[in-house]
Structure 1
Amino acid sequence: MAGTPDKQPNAQLTSWFVRSGWSKGELARQVNRRARQLGAHHVSTDTSRVRRWLDGEQPREPIPRILSELFSERFGCVVPVEDLGLRPAHQPPAGGDIDLPWAGPQTVQLINEFSRSDLMLGRRGFLGTSLALSAGPALLEPMQRWLVPSAQAAQPVPIGANRDAGGRPSRLSEEELQLLESTAAMFREWDNQCGGGLRRKAVVGQLHEVTDLLQEQHPEDVTRRLYRITADLAALAGWMSYDVGLQPTAQKYLVLALHAAKEAGDRPLGAFVLSSMSRQMIHLDRPDDALELIHLAQYGARDSAGATTQAMLHALEARAYANMGQVNKCHRAVRMAEDTFADARPEEDPTWISFFTEAELHAENAHSYRDLAYVAGRSPTYASLAQPEMQAAVDGFREDAVHQRAYALNLVGMGTVHLLMREPEQAAHFTEHAIGVAKRVRSERVNTRIRKTTDTAVREFGDVPEVARLAERLSRELPDVAESA
């Protein structure tokens, strides 16, 4: 790690560090943990190294990117490298990581190369060095081109068709195509059950194999189905990356998934990808961006998405409005989600929306009211609205053997609601239960939410015996040690 000859104390980094509440040792541990998670095994940071950064030493990559991600997650907003007083390895052009050509061959090549790099991460180092999160116009303007018709636009081909276009026989049989489609569905079920950390590399590997197939000649209908499978797998790789905390990687996969969905002519799948991007923006405290992405999804799939997908989009619209403090619009979007879901026909839905059950609808609405409570200064009124919805979600997921991550997340959500209602014993009860589920689910997102809820409980109700027991169990059973994705 090389410093500058006449270095000055880094006031910007010091300001973020002091507000984080971390000690130098804790920040060092978090940097090492994230570096191991991302394959940068050469990184070994200690308290003296952190002290030198605060004194003005400029760390080499991937440290600036790691610090940017850690502080972004800590504060719930995007904290660029430059805002930390650090120099990035390079300054990419605005939208450089996501403003990509909307053309089939380039999409296939980009996904193929990106997935190959991801698969080689453990051996070749840190994939995220060249990536940066995009937000605002740099994100939204390129995504709006999803709506622009392709030069060779054609009607989508129904699943199950396998016509011979132009006299070219397909090397892939109908049975092989169905197997590829069912494999993507199986990976989604595993993700819901086990979290993103266990099967992410398997999904990336399957995605890479499908893009290899797309570089061969196929009839148009087969090509469309392969693009649909590619979009499904890329969206899942993005979601699993998000689940384990790889935010720039997640965004890149989701952008590429949207490109593939466009080539497949599948507007509902594209809307689903945009909804995942919106969730990421809510997580990063960018509700305005989240709302723009949801409105883009709603407009693009207005004539083609089923009731379940439309209900999911309304529920996420409510989340965005809640985080913006727009109470009436939040309530209206919640009602729209409920009314639209009443018309859902699950037997007709694609597999990628199967997660959006009645329990998930209750969960989204609960989180909207919970978020409103925080925005309104920890309002007990909105917390009381969240409580029955969150309870319905917990009850719905309790006997669901597949959606175990959702069960854990809503147990933690129930804990946060009880904290808002000044009920620390109940908060500790539900959060303790979440720890038990989290041990079966490999999800950094779940673990992070448990730690944050426990930290809040200890800070506000540390003298309550149930809270003290929760903190002790957390340190014993769910230590802050990341495992490789």
Structure 2
Amino acid sequence: MVSTAAVPNLAFRQLRGQRSAGEFAAAVRRAAREIGEQVACDARYIGRVESGEIRCPNYAYERVFLHMFPGASLADLGFSARESVRGRGARVVSEPPPVHGREGDAAAPAPAAASPSGPHAPLLPHDSHPHHDHPFLHRDHLPHRDTETDDIPEESDVLRRVFMTSGTTTVAAASLGLGGAPASAAQVSLPAQRRVGEAEVNAVEKAVRQIRLLDDRHGADGLYRRAAQPLRAAYELLDAGTTARRATSDRLYAGAGELAISVGWLAHDSGRFDDARSHYAEALATARLAGDAGLEAHAFCNTSFLARDAGRPREAVRAAEAGQRAARTLGSPRLLALLALREAGGRAGLGDRTGCDRAIGRARAAFDRGTAAGDPEWMSFFREAELELLEAQCWSALGDWSRAARHGLRATALQDAHFTRNLALYRAQLTGDLARAGRADEAAATGHQVLDLLTRVQSSRIRGMLAGAARVLEPRAGAAPVGAFLTRHQETFRGAESSPSGA
């Protein structure tokens, strides 16, 4: 609740026109889904905005409103500037109930809650959602009732999730730990003034490293839900905190952006592509707000990877090219090599063999220049084994299975045994390439190695790759090695599906 007398938001009320508050709320939810957000907007929320009780929407709503009204600013919509409402007096913030995710998963965090989106977060240099003729602008396109999210509790600026008190130790230990905030953090009093210092920034950076370490060891499926909590806390620090020094502020922006990418990768690797897209877009917006070319290059790198996996190869190429432009001044040949490989993956998806081969050539030339002081910390995984794996995936996409298998074999031979998840990933890729190349017995043997590793690694992506290889091998089920693998694969996945903790 705001401490000053609320001033009605007449501009926002005018935009609603003759629609009821319920119809307007349904349009907001529908527009949110178009851009990968999920907001629990209902008639009561619209009423609170129009009454002036909500002076500035949270980041998720901001993205949705600006998508609905292209060219408008928050001021045009009748809202106050975010900076003017940051110094609010103490209030109690309650933890809202969980929002139901896809496939009835009550524990899955909504993208809006997991990744509060920035004011202008273009995912790519082009706009994949043209704003002209937006269905919101036409009353005839609106149903009278949208029951899909009628039972979702409201989400507003007053009820934003904040996992911190005024003490920096509490922030570092409770807000940004992967073990979850204590029960007492569900309802905390926020002081009017908060200062962000070394403890908070260190906690954000530590959370990034911890997520990456756990992902390397165990895969993404079991981590995604827990990782959303420190991400929310990091963006609350950005939104509500003040820092004593510019250097601390820059580190906080970079840390929050890297955390968004890390959580986005967990979503990506566990098959939640819409969530991943939202997190990567948030990281890109953060990078541009902070003028951080390194973070921007990283966001575009992961966006390209996601677009390739989601079957949008042209978008993958454009994102990789944008990442290369951002990375040119960073002094990291290895980063340019990785981005060139992302481009190669997109071109392979387009069937552009010549363009793919040229991009791989640029990648290898840059990689051969060696490491440099400008190499970002997050690129520790990008070694020769990864280069071979990414090239294998390119030839696989182009249907050159034998060549893909050659590079896949090199990748598995070079891979560091400490990266358990990558050991499984590389072998899953190799299993599929060997199967498609007609080397069924070798494929079955490699598939057994993947199944051995899946007792320690939870990754929907890897499981999907192995399932694809198994389908290719099914016509050869009469051969003893292949039949044994298919039987074990079926039993393993049936057991995982029946287990309460399965994927």
- Indicate conservation of the 8 Å contact 1:435/1:478, yes or no: no
- Deviations for 1:237-265, whole angstroms, at most 9, x for unmatched residues? 11101111112111111111111122232
CA distance in 2, matches of 1:427, 1:117: 48
- Deviations for 1:398-435, whole angstroms, at most 9, x for unmatched residues? x421x222211110111122122211101111111111
- The secondary structure found in structure 2 opposite 1:90 is helix
User: Would the alpha carbon gap of residues 119 and 130 (structure 1) be closer, same or farther in structure 2, given more than 3 Å must change?
Assistant: closer
Residue in structure 2 matched with residue 72 of structure 1 by the alignment? none
CA distance in 1, matches of 2:445, 2:361: 31
| Pair 1:421 & 2:437 matched | yes
How far is 1:199 from its partner? 2.3
How far is 1:201 from its partner? 2.9
- Deviations for 1:160-187, whole angstroms, at most 9, x for unmatched residues? xxxxxxxxx9944446534432331222
Considering Cα pairs closer than 8 Å and 6+ residues apart, tell me whether 1 or 2 has the greater RCO.
Answer: 1
CA distance in 2, matches of 1:118, 1:273: 30
CA distance in 2, matches of 1:117, 1:309: 40
User: Would the alpha carbon gap of residues 453 and 105 (structure 1) be closer, same or farther in structure 2, given more than 3 Å must change?
Assistant: farther
Residue in structure 1 matched with residue 463 of structure 2 by the alignment? 447
TM-score, normalization: structure 1? 0.65
How far is 1:385 from its partner? 2.1
How far is 1:371 from its partner? 1.3
Residue in structure 2 matched with residue 202 of structure 1 by the alignment? 226
| Pair 1:462 & 2:480 matched | no
- The secondary structure found in structure 1 opposite 2:438 is coil
CA distance in 2, matches of 1:319, 1:287: 8
Structure with a larger share of its residues in helix: 1
Amino acid at match of 2:477: G
- Indicate conservation of the 8 Å contact 1:411/1:430, yes or no: yes
- The secondary structure found in structure 1 opposite 2:434 is helix
- The more displaced of 444-453 and 295-304 is 295-304
| Pair 1:357 & 2:374 matched | no
User: Would the alpha carbon gap of residues 92 and 229 (structure 1) be closer, same or farther in structure 2, given more than 3 Å must change?
Assistant: closer
How far is 1:437 from its partner? 0.9
User: Would the alpha carbon gap of residues 127 and 394 (structure 1) be closer, same or farther in structure 2, given more than 3 Å must change?
Assistant: same
Residue in structure 2 matched with residue 315 of structure 1 by the alignment? 341
CA distance in 1, matches of 2:413, 2:98: 38
Structure 1 unaligned segments of length 5 or more: list them: 1-88, 110-115, 132-136, 145-168, 374-381
TM-score, normalization: structure 2? 0.62
| Pair 1:473 & 2:488 matched | yes
Residue in structure 2 matched with residue 216 of structure 1 by the alignment? 241
CA distance in 2, matches of 1:281, 1:221: 33
Q: 2:410 aligns with which of 392, 406, 429?
A: 392
How far is 1:192 from its partner? 1.7
CA distance in 2, matches of 1:233, 1:245: 18
- The more displaced of 96-105 and 262-271 is 96-105
CA distance in 2, matches of 1:304, 1:118: 43
Percent identity at matched positions?
22
Residue in structure 2 matched with residue 42 of structure 1 by the alignment? none
- The secondary structure found in structure 1 opposite 2:456 is coil
Q: 1:406 aligns with which of 413, 416, 422?
A: 422
User: Would the alpha carbon gap of residues 443 and 94 (structure 1) be closer, same or farther in structure 2, given more than 3 Å must change?
Assistant: closer
CA distance in 1, matches of 2:361, 2:123: 32
RMSD: 3.4
CA distance in 2, matches of 1:275, 1:118: 34
- The secondary structure found in structure 1 opposite 2:222 is helix
How far is 1:347 from its partner? 5.8
Residue in structure 2 matched with residue 190 of structure 1 by the alignment? 214
Residue in structure 2 matched with residue 285 of structure 1 by the alignment? 311
| Pair 1:90 & 2:30 matched | yes
- Indicate conservation of the 8 Å contact 2:305/2:316, yes or no: yes
- The secondary structure found in structure 2 opposite 1:343 is coil
Residue in structure 2 matched with residue 141 of structure 1 by the alignment? 126
- The secondary structure found in structure 2 opposite 1:233 is helix
User: Would the alpha carbon gap of residues 118 and 407 (structure 1) be closer, same or farther in structure 2, given more than 3 Å must change?
Assistant: farther
- Indicate conservation of the 8 Å contact 2:304/2:343, yes or no: no
